[in-house]
Amino acid sequence: MQTVPSTAMVNSVSCASATFCEAVGSGPAYAWDGSAWTSQTIPAPAGTGTLGGVSCTSRAFCEAIGENNINGNVVGVAAVWNGSAWNAQATPNPAKSTFLQLTAVSCVSAKSCEAGGYFEVQVTADDQKALAEAWNGSTWQLQHAVAPPGATSNSLVAVSCVSASFCEAVGAHPDSAGNQVSLIEMWNGQSWRIQASPLVAVSVSCVTANFCEAVGAGPSAEIWNGSAWSAGPAVPGFSVVTSISCLSASFCEVVGQGPSGQNAAAWNGTSWTDQTMPTSLSAVSCTAASSCEAVGQIPDQSGQLSTLAESWNGSAWTTHTTPNPSATQGSALSAVSCTSATSCTAVGQYQSSNVTNFGALQTLVEVWDGTTWSLRSTPSPSPAHNLLSGVSCGTSHVCTAVGQALDTGGVESTLIETGD
């Protein structure tokens, strides 16, 4: 565990290697060198605002973006890491905007980053407008995110880039009846342009400029073939699709919820295949088309939660026996990171049943070696509230997990733990 100021909250982390990570949020940045986290000063205005995203391409280059309230206006801010220090960057703001949020950034090199978010102009109403900004190696520049004809409000919720000249962004806007309809825009290296789309997508994953798959809030899916979006086969057994991850044009995984119990499905290049799984799976990590691990929780007959893990071998999901702490009223796994089929780390929390700290949340870590899941001892700094919600493993022996704890005054604080 690494001690950080109690007022800091980590929102995003990006690792370029097992010995270099940067984490940002509300407060200073934190750098990981393979053995310890070190606090770093980010100059104003970025350092006094809230940073929601960071992307690192090497030990010598990271971009962090967010927003700050300056003289009553919320404006975008950015900072760059050059290998030795953070430096504030000037970011453009649309004319007359009174509220702006940069929420995500993706860099493919030190000379090519895309940041997304939205802004509002206070005239008669605060309608959201899609926002895109680009870093070219020397300056941030506004990009014209195209508004659909007649749309008074529009926003982009997800973006996937494979190069400086190809990105796909998905979102929605209301039609004249107030119904949300699709908005998909493509970046071609010169401009954003709206593409015809058959559905409202909530997530998109691109593996090349000639293949992307997008999924919607319902069971719908659509495919980009390099020239057009077209409706693909619906994802069967789902009422809500929440996320998609593609490794190739012939392999994607989606997760979500379905009334029949299916909450995972695989794309083989032609069709979706139901993957029947217990409900309440929280996260999935794939290292190959024939190797995925999913984790979550499942209730017993009395309603008490216990940890759950399943493996995908390319043809079927198999439930694993997972350990639970001996003194627990309930356990859950929230995130998983795999580096191979024989090395995964899952994190979460359990509720203590010990007399001394009855009901307190404690951190939970479990490790998969290809055969069995086993518990790992982890610190829980707060006597009342500790949880791990994210994990990233650079190698099978170096993992970093992030979460939350409460300080002695009951204030929520950052929790970062590393282990092997």
pTM of the model: 0.62
What's residue 85's pLDDT?
A: 92
- Across the range 60-79, mean pLDDT stands at 89
Q: Which of 8-12, 173-177, 294-298, 339-343 has the lowest mean pLDDT?
A: 8-12
**pLDDT at res. 2:** 42
The mean pLDDT value for 280-302 works out to 81
342-401 residue pLDDT tens = 888 899 899 888 766 777 888 899 999 889 999 988 888 777 788 888 888 876 567 778
1-143: CATH topology is Methylamine Dehydrogenase; Chain H (2.130.10)
Residue that has been written with the tokens 């770093």 in this structure? 40
Do 373 and 323 form a contact (C-beta atoms < 8 A)? yes
For the segment 34-46, the average pLDDT, to the nearest whole number, is 83
Closest by CA position to 332, among listed 356, 305, 354, 357: 305
**Closest by CA position to 307, among listed 276, 272, 342, 349:** 349
Which CATH number applies to 160-276? Answer: 2.120.10.80
Amino acid, single-letter form, for residue 254: V
Domain ranges in the chain are 1-143, 160-276, 291-420
Name the more confident of 19 and 58: 58
DSSP letter (8 states) at residue 270: S
Beta strand 386-395 pairing with 398-406? antiparallel
264 has a pLDDT exceeding 80: no
In a 13 Å sphere around the CA of 110, the CA atoms on its Cβ side amount to 10
Going by their DSSP bridges, the two strands 373-376 and 9-17 should be labelled as unpaired
Q: Which amino acid is located at 272 in the chain?
A: W
Q: What is the mean pLDDT of residues 42-50?
A: 87
Angle at 232 between CA 311 and CA 284, to 5 degrees: 20
Strand partners, 40: 29
Yes or no: say if 388 and 400 are a contact pair by the CB < 8 Å rule. no
Q: Would you state the pLDDT for residue 27?
A: 77
- Can you read off the two tokens belonging to residue 334? 């929230």
Tokens of 14: 């990006």
Buried-state track 382-404, b at ≥16 Cβ within 10 A, e below 16:
beebbbbbbbbbbebebbbbbbb
Residue entry with tokens 């702006």 = 100
Kindly state the percentage of the chain with pLDDT values over 70.
89
Higher pLDDT, 408 or 249: 249
> What 8-state DSSP symbol labels residue 374?
E
Q: State the distance between the two ends of the chain, measured CA to CA, in whole angstroms.
A: 13
* Least confident window among 65-69, 151-155, 319-323: 151-155
| pLDDT band for position 420 (cuts 50, 70, 90) | low
Q: Dump the DSSP string for 52-121.
A: EEEEEEETTEEEEEEEEEETTEEEEEEEEE-SS-EEEE-----TTEEEEEEEEEEEEETTEEEEEEEEEE
**Confidence bin at 6 (pLDDT 50/70/90):** very low
Average pLDDT, the chain: 82
